[in-house]
């Protein structure tokens, strides 16, 4: 993961060493079929946002998600997947709505958060995982691994 440095001038520009503060911003790793195994093999928590450049809600919430990612502990992997560039991952993880945030623990998908949500929703999900809420994790795994019924209610054909 890369780190970008930005300088914020907090006082008139006289002596940069005493009046500037350095803010580090986490660069979100772009995942695709070639490197997503890093998430699936990571021994910790990973947060991955699935989005697309043509999706207005994705674009409107991108900055909020980036700010959320900046505040996460450095031992949490954070990244993004462009669904147009990773159709296999999009299908594998059943991404039906954008944006969608998937949270992995020990390489297993444990939480799916579809749609635009406030950062507090993501933070609470991570806090629950860190607490070791085994009942919650078990329930989420059961619900995520069930086979959804994707038949159209009127004609019975698959969507």
Indicate which residues carry an active-site annotation.
55, 58
19, two tokens: 């009046």
First to last CA, the chain: 38
Report the C-alpha gap between 1 and 78 in whole angstroms: 9
21, two tokens: 């503060």
- Reading phi first (left if > 0) and then psi (alpha if -120 to 50, else beta), residue 94 is in left
Residue pair 159/152 in contact (Cβ under 8 Å)? The answer is: yes
Q: Quote the radius of gyration of the chain (alpha carbons, Å).
A: 19
């Amino acid at each position: 993961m890369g780190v970008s440095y930005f300088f914020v001038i907090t006082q008139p520009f006289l002596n940069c060493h005493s009046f500037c503060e350095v803010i580090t911003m986490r660069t979100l790793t772009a995942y695709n079929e070639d490197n997503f195994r890093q998430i699936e093999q990571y021994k910790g928590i990973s947060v991955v946002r699935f989005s697309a450049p043509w999706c207005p809600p994705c674009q409107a919430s991108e900055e909020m998600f980036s700010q959320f990612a900046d505040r996460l502990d450095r031992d949490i992997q954070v990244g993004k997947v462009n669904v147009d560039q990773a159709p296999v991952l999009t299908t594998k993880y059943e991404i039906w709505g954008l944006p969608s945030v998937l949270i992995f623990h020990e390489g297993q998908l444990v939480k799916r958060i579809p749609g635009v949500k406030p950062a507090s929703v993501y933070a609470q999900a991570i806090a629950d995982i860190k607490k070791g809420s085994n009942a919650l994790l078990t329930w989420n795994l059961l619900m995520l691994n069930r086979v959804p019924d994707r038949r159209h209610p009127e004609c019975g054909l698959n969507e």
